[in-house]
Structures are given as structure tokens and as C-alpha cells.
Structure 1
Amino acid sequence: MQNLLLKLTLVFAAFLFALGFSANVFSTEKNIAKDTSKPINVKVFIGAMFEIGNNSGDKAGEFQFWFERYFANSKPITVKGAANSVYCNQNGVCGSVLGMGKVASSSSMQAIILNKQFDVSKAYFLISGVAGTPPSKGTIADVSWGSWLIDYDLGHRWHPSEGEPDAPTFTPRKGYESIRRYQLNAHLLNWALHISDDVKLTDSESARQYRQRYPQTAARRKPKVGYGTHMTGDTFFHGPGLSSEAQYMAELYGADDYVITEMEAAAIAQVLDRTLGINRMMSLRGAVNFDQGHPNERTLDHLDPAPGETAGGFEETLINISAVGAKVVDHIVENWHVWQHDVPPLP
């Protein structure tokens, strides 16, 4: 009897062991399946800064035309630390609204880059949005590719009355040499200009009339695709004095002429530089305002224009940005077998 009980006990113990082993194997297999789920291979990431309302169907902000072109059938992907959801299509194009200003945009970009849902090791980054331009260099509805990115805020400034008469009121702060300016990949820039050179830009009657308030030749012309230094500042600097200071900074840093004032690109470049490098980064901006008033307008009046005194052309500029940028995005995706390795030689 005792032998029978002993045998039954051993059989039951073996059964429990086998059951536990099977459960552990099943659990391990579940964990393995969860941990080895494949991330999305991102070919091009499009970063906008703000959206006015919905991503589609209302007044467009910076993301809406991108969303309607690439992500209308995509589901939102939540990313911890990012300001908004990320959208990806089946062709490896992803995009998101990163937030306005240096902190919001760069923190969102870092959260997305470090998130394991995405493989961005070979991705190209297209940072796009609206901006201002000096009337001596650009006009409303212009589209500009960035050649250099400069952080407008990193340095020392003082009141003009406390310095030398008519001298610049800015000097760079020592220790910021590696993060105050970034030269983007000139080879990639040439590709972007080559691909988008023949895009027909949209214009508006209100913008055409508004341009005539300015005497500068560049301000009065039709919009075009160009390139130059994009000046990043959380400070919404305005007026001919600060515009001249921005140009002074571009010359001081050995960069191209200042043509665009915006609020995010240099900060995003710092995130990319620390993680993936900036070899595959592009900055694309459309001008929706001049960085100063016309000769008969005070700077403060231009900053807060009366009804009917705005430049117009906002939606047209957004259309131009997406039309120009999409040519490059589509070219990269369609020729991914070449572009995934590196920026190819120009034809």
C-alpha cells in the first residue's frame, strides 16, 4: 500500500512539473513573440511643428497636407514623450506634429528616435513648416531648403545704447561652438534642389498685392524654390535691426546668407547629431511673413497687424511646402534600393 501511495505521489509530482514546465514554455514563447515584434522600418520621417485643428478637413496647419498625402489611411501610434501621435504608411513614410519651439520639437524628436516601435537607422528626416523671411532675400510663398542651421539664442546680447554706436549687439558665447551652428549635407541639399526645381508654386492675389508694399526686388517677385541659412530662435525677433543682426551672425559663423527665421531646426539637429547624425537631415520652410515691416510701417504694427493688413498666402505656402517636399520624399522611397545605403551621386 505504501509503495502504491509513493508511486501515485511521484506520478502526481511529475504531472505538476510537466504542467509548470509547459506553462513556462508558453509564457516564454509569448514574451519572445512580444519582445521580437519587428519595428517599422522608417525610410523618411516628416516632422511638422503645429496643426491648427484636425489633421484633415478643416483649416490647414503645417501637417494637414502631409497627412492627407501620406497618412489618411494610417492609424495613430502613441509614443511616450512625444507631443502627438506618429503616423506611418505602408511605404515606410512616417510623420508627426512635434510641437512649436526648441524644447517641444526636440524632445518629441528624441522620444520618437529612441522608441523601439521604429527603426530609424536608415531614415531621412524632413523637418518642415512655415517661417519668416527678410524682404531683401525672399518673398511670401517662397520655399527654402536649409543649407545651414544657426541657433539665434546662443550668445550674449545687450541694449544698443550700452554698446558701440551702430555696432552689432551680439557676440557668441564660448563653449557652444559645436551646437550653435550645423551645416547640413551639401550633397543631399543639391539633390533636393535638383528634384524640386521644376515644382510649379502656388500664389495668391492677396500675397501679390501685399508684396508691392516693399521696395526690395526680392520681396516683389514671384515665389520660388531656394536655399540658405535657417535661423532658429525661440525669440520671435522682428524688425530691420534684428534682421540685420541675424545676417551678421550668419556671416560671423561662415554660413550662407540668412533667408529664413524659424523656431525648431537647430534644436532638432542637435538631437539627431547626438543619436544618428545629421547626414540625412533636411530643413524645408515656406515664408508666410516678412521679418520686418515695410518702410512706412512700425515694427510693433507689423507684429500685430490690423484686420486686412496681413500678408495672405498662408494656405498657398503650405501647399508649396508639401508639393516641393513630396517630390523628394517620393524620389527617396521609389529608389530606396539606392538611397538606403547613402545619398547617391547626382546624375
Structure 2
Amino acid sequence: MQLLAWAVLFAGAFFATVSPGLATPVAPPALVARVKACAPARPCAARLPVRVVVVTMFEIGKDTGDKPGEFQLWKERRKLDVTLPFPQGWHDLAYDPQTGVLAIVTGMGSIKSATAALALGLDDRLDLSKAYWLVAGIAGIDPADASVGSAAWARFLVDGDIAHEIDAREIPADWKTGYFALHSKGPSDPTPLDPVNGEMFELNAALRDWAFALTKDVKLPDDATITAARAHYVGYPNAQKPPFVLKGDNLAAMTFWHGAKLTDWANDWTRFWTRGQGEFVTSAMEETGTFQSIEYLTRVGRADRNRVMVLRAGSNFTMPPPGVAPAPYLLSENQGYAGMTAALESLYLVGGKVVDEITTHWDRYEKAPPK
């Protein structure tokens, strides 16, 4: 009996040392029951502690057991088995009481992502004051920077919607594009502008660099489909590499754009708003909406803007291979992205490593983000 008691004591001490915060649930069953009894968007006397919010944008079909979207791998593999009704948003929430991980599906586009993130932060059932936010979604990826299946950690989030525009058929001969920054004097105006209307947000660069250093050597999945797709990108050495982890910035726009000329525009747009510090790598729709809401929530102590990470994995290239017209290539992509499966797995592998580090060693990261 004494030997058994010693073994139990030793095991408890071992797990408490190796996995602080995980030897016992972050949210005990009694707390979970009290919170589940609260109505959504109403005052709640109890709150679930959240260590990481995984932000996904869409799901395909059911949440489990069929073709996955961005949410399903997290739901199934992380055992996010506690469902919290979320009628004030796009999709119900999923929570793991053992680790304190919460997942949300915002819906596609910056309007849905902004409203869902704000609704989440104002939900009385949740304590997000110290939570880390991981945006994990698929994206278009610039073949000059990376291959399909690659995963990029962003520092700058650039909005592609706030602008002036004239029809492409009416662009003056000396204009490079008919789309240019609001309050500028045209597409060739080099005058720097301050992003006062949400045109650009800068994340915590130290946190981004920490996440990259932690994950840069993660081996990402490769398959015959994306190997064949990247082989056509002759003259783009990064596009022809197997998937890898990199640092690169995100441009969010509600229009699903495609083509070499628009990829050039995305690079120019990113450089303009970041004053030359940013590098366009991934194209998506939601980041600036999500982060704008987190900025507002930070002001009232409901979130911390310095704990936000954005990870996007390439499901498709932002332009066709050399010699291929953009219109038919875009239409073929609409039938299904060649890199969807690889991108979803990359997001889970890379993002999961960061989630594990934070939740397992909460004593290191609770008070302040890593530097």
C-alpha cells in the first residue's frame, strides 16, 4: 500500500511538472455545467477560462465525419466536445475543458468575421482576457514566395477593400491600375498614408517570430496532386518547393481575385500600407475584420491584441502558371482547390504545435506573451 501511495504521489508530481495546467481540467465539470445553463448573450455568473481561441472561417457539411473545412480537424482531434450555443454568430462554439481551447467558425468575409469576433468577446460565458487568438485558415499564396500547402505566419494584416476604383476599361493609359488608396491622388501617388480606417494592422512581431521559431522545422504534408500543380510554376523556385513554414503577410479582401496583375497589385498594396516593411504572401478575406474587433475588445479588457497570431496555409496560388490565362484557371480552381487537403493539415500541424506549447506551459505564458 505504501508503494502504491508513493507511485500515485510521484505520478501526480511528474504530470504537474511536465504539463502544468493539464493535470487537472482548466474548467471543472461543475463550472462547465453552470456556464451551459446560462443563455447566450445574457449575463452569466460563471465564466469558462479560455487559454487559446482557434479562429476558423468555414466548415463543409457536418462538423465531424465528412469532408473537412477549417474547423473539423480541430473539433475532432482536439476533442472539443463541449458545445456552446452561439446564435449571435455564424456557428456554435466548441470548447475543451481540459485544455481551455475554444474554437469558433466566424463565417466567410470580413463582415462575418468582425461581428463574430466582437460577439465572442462580449459573451459573458467566457473569460478571454488572457486568451491567445490563433487565426488558422486557408489562403491563396503568392508563387514568388511559397508553394501550395505552405503555412505563413503574418506580422501585417492589410485590408484590400478600402479604396478608390474606376472600371478597368476606363483606366488612363499612364495608370498601372484603376484601384488606388482612399485619399491618395492616384495609383502612382507615393505619399505615405496613415491607416486610420483599418487599412492595415500590425500584430505583435515578437509573438509572430516566436511562433515561427517554434514551428519552422515542422514537416508539412505533400502529395501527388500539389506536386503536379507546382511543377508548372517554372521560374518560381519557391513555388516548386515542397510545402514549408515561412513568415509572410496577409491581404484581406472580400473579392476573390486571381491573376498575375492582381498579384502584382497585392504586393504593391502591401508595400504601400506597411511603408515597405511588409511582404505579401497570402490572400484571404477575414483578418482585418477579426483584428479590428479584437482591437475594440482590448480597450475594455475583454481581449489582448498582443496575443493574436495569424497563420494562413496556401490552398491555391494567387495566379496561374506562366503561359496560362487567368480566367479558365480561376474557373477550374472553383471546382476545388488542389491544395485544400494539404493546407488544412498544415494549419493543424503548425498551429497545433503552438496551441500545445501555450496550453501545456500556461505558467510561462499566462502573464505575458513570449518575447
Look up the match of 1:234.
Answer: 254
Distance 1:77 1:311, change over 3 A: closer
Distance 1:158 1:214 in 2: 32
> How much does 1:241 deviate?
0.9
Deviates more, 1:134-143 or 1:112-121: 134-143
* Structure 2 residue 341 is the aligned partner of structure 1 residue 315: yes
Distance 2:364 2:330 in 1: 46
* Structure 2 residue 84 is the aligned partner of structure 1 residue 77: yes
User: TM-score scaled to structure 2, two decimals?
Assistant: 0.79
* Structure 2 residue 294 is the aligned partner of structure 1 residue 272: yes
Which residue, 252, 263, 266 being the options, matches 1:243? 263
Distance 2:333 2:115 in 1: 35
- Contact between 1:207 and 1:311, CA under 8 Å: does it hold in 2? no
* Structure 2 residue 118 is the aligned partner of structure 1 residue 98: no
User: TM-score scaled to structure 1, two decimals?
Assistant: 0.85
- Contact between 2:315 and 2:342, CA under 8 Å: does it hold in 1? no
- Contact between 2:171 and 2:177, CA under 8 Å: does it hold in 1? no
Give identity over the alignment, percent.
Answer: 29
* Structure 2 residue 167 is the aligned partner of structure 1 residue 140: no
Distance 1:258 1:306 in 2: 21
Q: Residues 176-200 of structure 1: CA distance to partner in whole angstroms, max 9, x if unpaired?
A: 5251101110110011011112211
Unpaired segments of 5 or more residues in structure 2? 1-36, 184-193, 299-303
* Structure 2 residue 212 is the aligned partner of structure 1 residue 193: yes
State the AA in 1 paired with 2:291.
A
Runs of 4+ with >4 A deviation? 33-36
State the AA in 1 paired with 2:350.
V
- C-alpha RMSD of the superposition: 2.0
Distance 1:102 1:310, change over 3 A: closer
Aligned residue pair count: 311
Distance 1:306 1:230, change over 3 A: closer
Look up the match of 2:331.
Answer: 304
Distance 1:135 1:195, change over 3 A: same
Distance 2:86 2:294 in 1: 17
Distance 1:334 1:257, change over 3 A: same
Look up the match of 1:282.
Answer: 309
Look up the match of 1:331.
Answer: 357
Q: Which has the larger radius of gyration?
A: 1
- Contact between 1:154 and 1:176, CA under 8 Å: does it hold in 2? no
Distance 1:78 1:217 in 2: 47
Distance 2:342 2:271 in 1: 31
Look up the match of 2:188.
Answer: none
The 5-angstrom pairing of residues 121-200 of structure 1 reads 121-160=129-168, 161-165=170-174, 167-174=176-183, 177-200=196-219
State the AA in 1 paired with 2:223.
S
Distance 2:333 2:281 in 1: 26
Look up the match of 2:366.
Answer: 340
- Contact between 1:47 and 1:95, CA under 8 Å: does it hold in 2? yes
Higher relative helix content: 1
Q: SS of the residue aligned with 2:158?
A: strand
- Contact between 2:54 and 2:102, CA under 8 Å: does it hold in 1? yes
Look up the match of 1:120.
Answer: 128
- Contact between 1:196 and 1:327, CA under 8 Å: does it hold in 2? yes
* Structure 2 residue 288 is the aligned partner of structure 1 residue 262: no
Distance 2:287 2:113 in 1: 9
Look up the match of 2:322.
Answer: 295
Q: Residues 118-149 of structure 1: CA distance to partner in whole angstroms, max 9, x if unpaired?
A: 01011111111110012111211001111110
> How much does 1:168 deviate?
3.9
Q: SS of the residue aligned with 2:226?
A: helix
Distance 1:99 1:36, change over 3 A: closer
Unpaired segments of 5 or more residues in structure 1? 1-32
State the AA in 1 paired with 2:294.
L
Look up the match of 1:66.
Answer: 74
Distance 2:293 2:181 in 1: 21
> How much does 1:63 deviate?
0.7
> How much does 1:158 deviate?
2.4
Which residue, 17, 26, 48 being the options, matches 1:40? 48
Distance 1:56 1:207 in 2: 25
State the AA in 2 paired with 1:236.
F
Look up the match of 2:119.
Answer: 111
The 5-angstrom pairing of residues 18-57 of structure 1 reads 37-57=45-65
State the AA in 1 paired with 2:180.
T
